[in-house]
DNA sequence: TCGTCTGGCACTTTTGAATGGC
DNA sequence: AGCCATTCAAAAGTGCCAGACG
């Protein structure tokens, strides 16, 4: 089982959230500085502070927030890699991602502060092997590793800050070292992952956990490797990565700054990314199908707003903490015991937040993912020629590309609600629905009129209103994986692409996802046969039916409920135990949650099941569920209706009772330093495998993962200066860190 | 034997300190 | 003394390769 022994790093102070912050500049050699721990606060933290704010009795309808839109600026580059089958090197010391995630945010409230998180979740429950020029699933995935979240160094920062520059997560590193103590994101080699970005409001020091938006860019899926398998990928990396310049035959120098976490936007579009892409692409073969050309820059995924959670921590507390955090807070820092408490509280809050986030992630990210992935293979839309997959993009400057580019598809936000924890003060229920805008239309998608595409970058883009959805569903295995490279059978026209949110919701129910996987198909042999051919090899028009017919071997297992929280099948739904979480915390934001329909929509069962997570965790209650009110759970679990088909209109779906957010006055300007933080949180581990039926608990491929209850442990290192700490999933029995560090204590997790 | 992983290597970029000039 | 620009060395990132491991 997972335990501290197994993951020593988990117990390390640095791992903690607070520790996650470090100042890049200050640290020599880019070594993360782990400030002193701030555990003391925890000890000092008065119980009352720990207690979550009371849940508002009545959800207040919250005005729809501005739609938050996120664009993947270097989507073009990602697309290039995706078309070949993106591979990411992981090393023991940690390896940066390339391409990195370069994002542009819009729709944020300039005055509010937001935290940006990056997490990487497995796409399916398979292990891959590069064979015959493609990636094939060759077996079950390995036991899931501690989940870590990378918090953007600039976090928290104002909406104006985020929107004024290109946001890059290049600092995030991937490692295969399960004992990693550097806070890197731990992944298994030869597994397929999907990065996700979460935007969380931090309205004020006292109240964090406002609306949450999660974004998934299907083209950013990748397979982890310790050495590149596909020469094409190597070529792309060498051509596009400045650090690999030495390997270029032509010595082409790419103009890009790999190190900028955020790039100030002097222009509407980040030139650097564009230039980079252009340069990188220059050497690349042209895309076969221009008609399907999509404009990464313009494309944007729209997230769904996650229920807001508020924690009313208390100003004094928050102020002190924030100051300590070195996050410049307007309120100034008070060096008082309160600060310590604040830290602890924050950590606690983070745990909770992530729990809720997890849900959010499910809602937003999954849907998107589904849509996306599905779009490739099973996209309902007509167009089709999906040349997308393996075709290289010829025109580096796709922006300039005269050819019709596919307008970004806006996916209806699956779930947008901001259930606010009712703080003592006001609670405004806010449901927000945002649509997902898929930056990259299904790969092969046909050209959609540009006009249709709202440029994500432009704040003015009206896209917010439109919920365009791509009816595609993601399939974890074989054909479904197509999301990645797979050539979509059809290209979407912008108009066509625009699908009502409702349709989006319903789509999940479509054949692919909805269809239950038969156990018979699960045989290992089947797996190999059904092997998903990573990128190119996918059949032009993957037939959903076949996919269903040849589910990944693991699928059976995958059958587990999509949502961790929705594990009712396991019977866990109601039984969640969150030792560390106060009861009311659990109920926090969701008390008002509207009935299932919305939830179901948000979390289509089929679409979310992640084999690894879901399967193994029978009883498991993801921490993500932590914040979920019982009602929510019930809805989810009880709502088999979750099937998209049954789902009500998306708009309706966003029925979460809004949690009220306190308006925090001012966050100080972003801290000068670049703190990085990695969190372990179960909640953020949604399952990307849509195809799995939620209703039936899958047979366990792996020993079931027990639940991951959140547990706060005291950490001797208290560093008031650091607001956040890494949260680790720890075995429930997890030994409290000797030093008493706070950790996410995940309930027992079997070690394999 | 095969597949995978690891560490070292050469190369490049980035960063910060040191230096010099104004 | 302060500011700015330039230079240099160290650190870090990159892919390649040979060897080790299971």
Does the CB of A226 fall within 7 Å of any strand B atom? Answer: yes
Give the closest residue to A477 by CA, choosing from A96, A135, A150, A86: A135
> Given a cut of 50, is residue A221 above it in pLDDT?
yes
Backbone angles phi and psi of A501, in degrees to 5:
-55, -35
**Number of CB atoms found within 10 A of residue A638's CB:** 18
Q: How far from the centroid of its chain's Cα atoms is residue A175's Cα?
A: 18
Q: Which residues of A496-511 are buried (b: 16+ CB within 10 A; e: fewer)?
A: bbbbbbbbbbbbbbbe
pTM, two decimals, is 0.47
Does the CB of A91 fall within 7 Å of any strand B atom? Answer: yes
A254 CA to B9 C1' in angstroms comes to 23
Angle formed at CA A300 by CA A298 and CA A306, multiple of 5 degrees: 160
Structure tokens at A353: 């937040």
Please report the pLDDT score of residue A208 as a whole number. Answer: 53
Which residue bears the tokens 């992952």? A193
A236 CA to B13 C1' in angstroms comes to 18
Strand C positions within 7 A of protein Cβ atoms: 10-18
A84 CA to B10 C1' in angstroms comes to 27
A189 CA to B1 C1' in angstroms comes to 22
Does the CB of A729 fall within 7 Å of any strand B atom? Answer: no
Q: Bigger pLDDT: A151 or A614?
A: A151
Q: Bigger pLDDT: A309 or A180?
A: A180
Which nucleotide's C1' sits nearest to the alpha carbon of A175? B5
Task: Give me the percent of chain A exceeding a pLDDT of 90.
Answer: 3
User: Quick one: average pLDDT of A100-119?
Assistant: 89
* Spatial CB neighbours of A589, under 8 Å, sequence gap ≥ 6: A55, A209, A307, A308, A309, A310, A356, A418, A419, A420, A421, A627, A629, A656, A657, A659
> Given a cut of 60, is residue A136 above it in pLDDT?
yes
Q: Bigger pLDDT: A223 or A291?
A: A223
Please report the pLDDT score of residue A197 as a whole number. Answer: 92
Please report the pLDDT score of residue A176 as a whole number. Answer: 87
Residue count (chain A): 752
Residue nearest to nucleotide C11 (CA to C1'): A29
Q: Could you give the CA distance from residue A609 to residue A231 in angstroms, rounded to a whole number? A: 33
User: Quick one: average pLDDT of A227-239?
Assistant: 87
Do residues A277 and A397 lie in contact, with contact meaning Cβ atoms separated by under 8 Å?
Answer: yes
* Overall CATH class of domain A69-241: mainly beta
Do residues A134 and A534 lie in contact, with contact meaning Cβ atoms separated by under 8 Å?
Answer: yes
A673 CA to B20 C1' in angstroms comes to 29
Please report the pLDDT score of residue A140 as a whole number. Answer: 87
Please report the pLDDT score of residue A192 as a whole number. Answer: 92
> Given a cut of 80, is residue A260 above it in pLDDT?
no
A149: β partners: A119, A679
What is the pLDDT confidence band of residue A139, given thresholds at 50, 70 and 90?
A: confident
Which nucleotide's C1' sits nearest to the alpha carbon of A259? B14
A34 CA to C11 C1' in angstroms comes to 18
Q: Could you give the CA distance from residue A439 to residue A456 in angstroms, rounded to a whole number? A: 8
Which residue bears the tokens 């919250």? A62
A188 CA to C14 C1' in angstroms comes to 21
Q: Would you call A517 helix, strand, or coil by DSSP? A: coil
> Given a cut of 80, is residue A62 above it in pLDDT?
no
pLDDT, tens digit, 9 for 90 and up, residues A690-741: 333 333 333 323 332 222 322 222 222 222 223 233 333 322 222 223 222 2
* Spatial CB neighbours of A157, under 8 Å, sequence gap ≥ 6: A113, A114, A667, A669, A670
Lowest mean pLDDT among A154-163, A260-269, A535-544: A535-544
What is the number of helices (H) and of strands (E) in chain A? 24, 20
> Given a cut of 60, is residue A152 above it in pLDDT?
yes
**Number of CB atoms found within 10 A of residue A402's CB:** 8
Which nucleotide's C1' sits nearest to the alpha carbon of A245? B12
What is the pLDDT confidence band of residue A207, given thresholds at 50, 70 and 90?
A: low
Which nucleotide's C1' sits nearest to the alpha carbon of A246? B11
Lowest mean pLDDT among A142-156, A545-559, A624-638, A685-699: A624-638
Q: Bigger pLDDT: A136 or A576?
A: A136
Q: Could you give the CA distance from residue A57 to residue A59 in angstroms, rounded to a whole number? A: 6
A357 CA to B3 C1' in angstroms comes to 38
Domain ranges of chain A: 69-241
Q: Bigger pLDDT: A676 or A178?
A: A178
Average pLDDT, chain A: 45
Q: Could you give the CA distance from residue A109 to residue A413 in angstroms, rounded to a whole number? A: 18
Backbone angles phi and psi of A736, in degrees to 5:
-65, 140
Do residues A452 and A231 lie in contact, with contact meaning Cβ atoms separated by under 8 Å?
Answer: no
Please report the pLDDT score of residue A550 as a whole number. Answer: 36
Backbone angles phi and psi of A216, in degrees to 5:
-130, 130
Please report the pLDDT score of residue A66 as a whole number. Answer: 59
A661 CA to B20 C1' in angstroms comes to 55
Lowest mean pLDDT among A60-69, A472-481, A674-683: A472-481
User: Quick one: average pLDDT of A241-262?
Assistant: 58
Structure tokens at A205: 């020091």
User: Quick one: average pLDDT of A502-521?
Assistant: 31
Do residues A371 and A503 lie in contact, with contact meaning Cβ atoms separated by under 8 Å?
Answer: no
pLDDT, tens digit, 9 for 90 and up, residues A407-465: 322 222 322 333 332 333 333 323 232 322 222 323 333 333 222 223 333 333 323 22
User: Quick one: average pLDDT of A368-388?
Assistant: 31
User: Quick one: average pLDDT of A665-680?
Assistant: 35
> Given a cut of 80, is residue A200 above it in pLDDT?
yes
Which nucleotide's C1' sits nearest to the alpha carbon of A241? C14
Backbone angles phi and psi of A696, in degrees to 5:
-100, 130
Please report the pLDDT score of residue A206 as a whole number. Answer: 52
Where are the alpha helices (H) located in A297-452, listed in sequence order? 315-325, 337-360, 366-378
Lowest mean pLDDT among A133-137, A189-193, A202-206, A722-726: A722-726
pLDDT, tens digit, 9 for 90 and up, residues A635-657: 333 333 333 333 333 332 333 23
Strand B positions within 7 A of protein Cβ atoms: 3-7, 10-16
> Given a cut of 60, is residue A158 above it in pLDDT?
yes
Please report the pLDDT score of residue A203 as a whole number. Answer: 64
Do residues A586 and A576 lie in contact, with contact meaning Cβ atoms separated by under 8 Å?
Answer: yes
Which nucleotide's C1' sits nearest to the alpha carbon of A233? C15
Cα dist from A468 to A238, A455, A505, whole Å: 36, 14, 11
Q: Is the omega angle on the peptide bond into residue A156 within 30 degrees of 0, that is, cis?
A: yes
> Given a cut of 80, is residue A41 above it in pLDDT?
no
Please report the pLDDT score of residue A67 as a whole number. Answer: 81
> Given a cut of 50, is residue A559 above it in pLDDT?
no
Structure tokens at A475: 């399939």
Does the CB of A242 fall within 7 Å of any strand B atom? Answer: yes
């Amino acid at each position: 089982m997972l335990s501290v022994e197994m993951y020593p790093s988990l117990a390390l102070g640095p791992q903690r959230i607070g520790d996650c912050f470090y100042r890049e500049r200050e640290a020599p050699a880019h070594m993360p500085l782990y400030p002193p721990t701030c555990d003391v606060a925890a000890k000092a933290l008065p119980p009352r502070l720990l207690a979550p704010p009371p849940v508002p009795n009545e959800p207040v309808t919250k005005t729809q927030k501005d739609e938050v839109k996120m664009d993947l600026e270097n989507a073009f580059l990602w697309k290039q890699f995706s078309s070949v089958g993106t591979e990411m090197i992981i090393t023991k010391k940690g390896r940066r991602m390339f391409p990195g995630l370069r994002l542009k945010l819009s729709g944020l409230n300039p005055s509010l502060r937001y935290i940006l998180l990056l997490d990487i979740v497995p796409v399916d429950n398979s292990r891959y092997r590069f064979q015959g020029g493609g990636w094939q699933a060759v077996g079950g995935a390995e036991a899931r590793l501690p989940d870590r979240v990378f918090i953007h160094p600039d976090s928290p920062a104002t909406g104006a800050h985020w929107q004024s520059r290109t946001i890059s997560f290049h600092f995030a590193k991937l490692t295969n070292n399960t004992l990693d103590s550097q806070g890197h994101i731990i992944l298994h080699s030869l597994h397929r992952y999907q990065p996700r970005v979460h935007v969380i409001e931090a309205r004020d020091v006292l109240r964090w956990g406002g609306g949450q938006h999660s974004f998934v860019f299907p083209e950013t899926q990748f397979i982890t490797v310790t050495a590149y398998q596909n020469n094409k990928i190597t070529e792309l990396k060498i051509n596009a990565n400045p650090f690999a310049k030495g390997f270029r035959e032509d010595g082409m120098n790419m103009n890009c700054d790999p190190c900028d976490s955020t790039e100030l936007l002097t222009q509407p579009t980040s030139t650097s990314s564009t230039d980079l892409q252009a340069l990188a692409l220059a050497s690349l073969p042209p895309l076969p199908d221009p008609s399907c050309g999509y404009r990464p820059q313009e494309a944007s995924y729209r997230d769904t707003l996650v229920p807001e959670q508020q924690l009313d921590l208390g100003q004094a507390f928050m102020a002190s903490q924030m100051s300590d955090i070195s996050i410049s807070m307007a309120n100034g820092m008070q060096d008082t015991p309160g600060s310590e408490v604040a830290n602890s509280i924050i950590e606690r809050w983070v745990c909770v937040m992530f729990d809720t986030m997890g849900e959010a992630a499910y809602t937003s990210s999954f849907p998107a993912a589904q849509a996306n992935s599905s779009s490739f293979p099973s996209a309902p839309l007509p167009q089709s020629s999906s040349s997308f997959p393996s075709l290289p993009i010829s025109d580096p400057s796709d922006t300039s590309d005269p050819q019709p580019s596919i307008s970004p598809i806006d996916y209806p936000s699956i779930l947008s609600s901001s259930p606010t924890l009712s703080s003592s003060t006001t609670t405004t229920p806010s449901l927000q629905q945002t649509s997902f805008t898929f930056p990259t239309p299904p790969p092969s998608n046909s050209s959609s009129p540009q006009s249709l595409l709202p440029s994500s970058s432009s704040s003015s883009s009206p896209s917010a209103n439109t919920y365009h959805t791509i009816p595609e569903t993601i399939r974890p295995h074989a054909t479904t994986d197509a999301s990645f490279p797979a050539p979509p059978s059809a290209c979407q026209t912008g108009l066509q692409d625009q699908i009502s949110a409702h349709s989006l919701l319903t789509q999940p129910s479509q054949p692919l996802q909805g269809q239950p996987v038969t156990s018979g198909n699960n045989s290992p042999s089947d797996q190999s046969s059904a092997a998903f051919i990573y990128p190119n090899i996918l059949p032009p028009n993957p037939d959903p039916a076949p996919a269903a017919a040849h589910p990944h071997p693991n699928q059976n297992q995958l059958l587990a409920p999509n949502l961790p929280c929705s594990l009712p099948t396991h019977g866990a739904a109601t039984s969640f135990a969150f030792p560390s979480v106060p009861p009311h915390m659990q109920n926090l934001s969701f008390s008002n949650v509207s009935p299932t329909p919305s939830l179901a929509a948000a979390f289509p069962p089929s679409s979310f099941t992640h084999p690894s997570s879901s399967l193994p965790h029978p009883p498991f209650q993801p921490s993500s569920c932590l914040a979920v009110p019982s009602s929510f759970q019930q809805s989810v679990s009880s709502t088999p209706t979750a099937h998209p088909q049954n789902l009500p209109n998306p708009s309706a779906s966003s029925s979460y009772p809004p949690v009220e957010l306190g308006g925090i006055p001012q966050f100080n300007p972003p801290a000068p330093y670049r703190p990085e933080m990695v969190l372990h949180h179960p909640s953020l581990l949604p399952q990307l495998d849509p195809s799995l039926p939620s209703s039936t608990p899958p047979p366990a491929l792996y020993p079931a993962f027990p639940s991951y209850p959140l547990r706060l442990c005291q950490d001797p290192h208290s560093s008031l200066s650091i607001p956040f700490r890494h949260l680790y999933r720890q075995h429930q029995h997890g030994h409290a860190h000797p030093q008493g560090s706070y950790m996410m204590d995940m309930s027992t997790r079997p070690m394999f």
